[in-house]
Structure 1
Amino acid sequence: MTTDMRHAVFEVLSDVDAVAMRMAELFIEAVQNRPGERIRIALSGGSTPKRLFAILARPEVAQKVDWKRVEIFYGDERHVPVGHADSNQSMAESLLLSKVPLPAEQIHPMPTQGQAREDAQRYQEVMEASYGAETLEKGRPFFDVVMLGLGTDGHTASLFPGEPVLDETKAWVSVSDPKTAPHERLTLTYPAIASSRNIVFLVTGDNKVPMLRRLREGDSSIPSGRIVSEGKILVLADRAAAGEHTS
């Protein structure tokens, strides 16, 4: 089964905190629903994941996750030094990963110490080692959960409009150098994201209304509209992003 954006499920929640809490529930379910299995999750950056990470780090929540079975990857990363304020890895590390009993060897930050294309290849090799193959197989998805955001220009991960990476059909990891955002970036490609049991978009804020509408329509002229999954696609939006007025 392949799901595209026209067949995604959309949930509208009251506010950004409700979106983060719902994502926390899905994170926990992903681990609990496959006992004994290694669970691979791709994290995203942004303000809503910050709230998610803080929730998951709470002792009463963290204890619901069998962290020794969790393997953490990233959907994208700015090609900046370790510890940089714009680093997705640094944010996740400070808010969540340093606070839960997750084995260090199961955390896979995107490398940023070398040339971007070389670092992308290095990350692909890390993914191949985890997967046990150099080719993604139908029916054996790499990721249990891929978290994605939605930019006001329709980008997701670091799949920005007009970037050559949008046409990548083989590599799992590639480079994006957007003209409309700072920093060169590493990003998962469409094929890697598609190798998933669940994709969850986190969309919050009234500035996302126009793009969320286009995403719901499966508009393939925006990068996020071209996302597909072997499994399910869920979009969690707050009322502001959905264009619903709150009293």
Structure 2
Amino acid sequence: MMTIDEGVGHDVTTAGIIVLEDDDAVAHAMAAWLMQSALDKEDGPLVLALSGGTTPKRLLEVMAGPEYVARFPWKKCQFFYGDERHVPPDDPDSNYHMSCEALFSHVPVPPENLHPVPTGGSPEADAAAYEAELKKLYGAETFESGRPLFDVVMLGIGPDGHTASLFPRQPVLEETRRWVSTCVPDDAPHVRITLTYPAIHSSRHVVFLLTGSEKAAMLKRVRRGDDASLPSSRVTTEGTMTFVIDRAAAEDLSDER
């Protein structure tokens, strides 16, 4: 089973890299690791921030399989979202809608353990409401070093280097106080609500899931960590960071393998 080393780095330049055969292998390995992490945790629920996108969707589909329906400790997990489009929850573009179709409509997760981003009010009010929900879970108004908010934050990388809904050229990239904020991309549809860098930083594990050759060139650029115009390159964590990728996404990292 895939293991994520406690000693790997805290940013994109020092993060661990796990290369698997293909997207299916990535999904199955991540599902197994999440289940074991949840089973092993004894000091409270496993708190996850889910990601949208094709690779995370495949992961959720794997977790909807019979093995996970029966064995995954659904009652021990709290499911949040790293970002959301400000659309109704039944909109095809909604990350919540995707996750329900792929996973949550098939498994016995308690409704109170599933935390969709609210989208019924203004983006600003909904972002503030989600931040308040996270603070209630955390039990404090500010982050404390050594007491992370999330056990696992799952992220991807877009073709422009964005991650979650931290898009290039947007004010949210400079947010240092708020845990959740809004973003209006200039190259993608929909107003977004997203975790900020400080909220992502307060995590035990940040895991980038990347598959496909179309991710290879951008992954190499992000991995260098020297281009501040790429939002993914600015992600840090107080815990560990790992890229879990397939061979196609790793094709430009031959000097690291």
1:7 is paired with a residue of what secondary structure? coil
User: Is residue 196 of structure 2 the alignment partner of residue 189 of structure 1?
Assistant: yes
Mapped partners of 1:74, 1:142: distance in 2: 13
User: Is residue 233 of structure 2 the alignment partner of residue 225 of structure 1?
Assistant: yes
CA shift, 1:220, in A, is 4.2
Mapped partners of 1:82, 1:66: distance in 2: 25
CA shift, 1:67, in A, is 1.0
* Counterparts of residues 54-69 of structure 1 (less than 5 Å): 54-69=61-76
Contact in 2 for aligned 1:198/1:231 (Cα 8 Å): yes
Aligned partner of 1:238 in structure 2 is 246
Greater shift, 17-26 or 188-197, is seen at: 17-26
* Counterparts of residues 42-191 of structure 1 (less than 5 Å): 42-191=49-198
2:172 is paired with a residue of what secondary structure? helix
CA shift, 1:62, in A, is 2.8
Contact in 2 for aligned 1:120/1:175 (Cα 8 Å): yes
Mapped partners of 2:89, 2:50: distance in 1: 17
Contact in 2 for aligned 1:218/1:225 (Cα 8 Å): yes
1:25 to 11, 18, 32: 32
Structure 2 counterpart of 1:46, one-letter code: G
Mapped partners of 1:219, 1:114: distance in 2: 38
Structure 2 residue runs without a partner (length 5+): 1-6, 253-257
Mapped partners of 1:129, 1:38: distance in 2: 14
Structure 1 counterpart of 2:241, one-letter code: I
Deviations 1:124-170 (A, max 9, x none): 01111111111111110000100000111111000011010000001
Structure 2 counterpart of 1:236, one-letter code: V
1:99 is paired with a residue of what secondary structure? coil
Structure 1 counterpart of 2:232, one-letter code: S
Q: Would you identify which runs of 4 or more consecutive aligned residues in structure 1 move more than 3 Å?
A: none
Structure 1 counterpart of 2:54, one-letter code: S
Mapped partners of 1:219, 1:92: distance in 2: 34
CA shift, 1:61, in A, is 2.0
Q: What do you get for the CA RMSD once the two structures are aligned?
A: 1.4
CA shift, 1:33, in A, is 2.1
Contact in 2 for aligned 1:36/1:69 (Cα 8 Å): no
CA shift, 1:36, in A, is 5.2
CA shift, 1:97, in A, is 1.2
Mapped partners of 1:195, 1:138: distance in 2: 8
Greater shift, 183-192 or 90-99, is seen at: 90-99
* Counterparts of residues 35-46 of structure 1 (less than 5 Å): 35=42, 37-46=44-53
2:241 is paired with a residue of what secondary structure? strand
CA shift, 1:59, in A, is 1.9
* Counterparts of residues 199-210 of structure 1 (less than 5 Å): 199-210=206-217
Deviations 1:25-81 (A, max 9, x none): 221122022135211000000111111111111121232321111000000000011
CA shift, 1:237, in A, is 1.2
How many residue pairs end up in the alignment?
Answer: 244
Structure 1 counterpart of 2:101, one-letter code: S
CA shift, 1:204, in A, is 1.3
Deviations 1:199-218 (A, max 9, x none): 11011111111110012222
Percent of aligned pairs with the same residue? 51
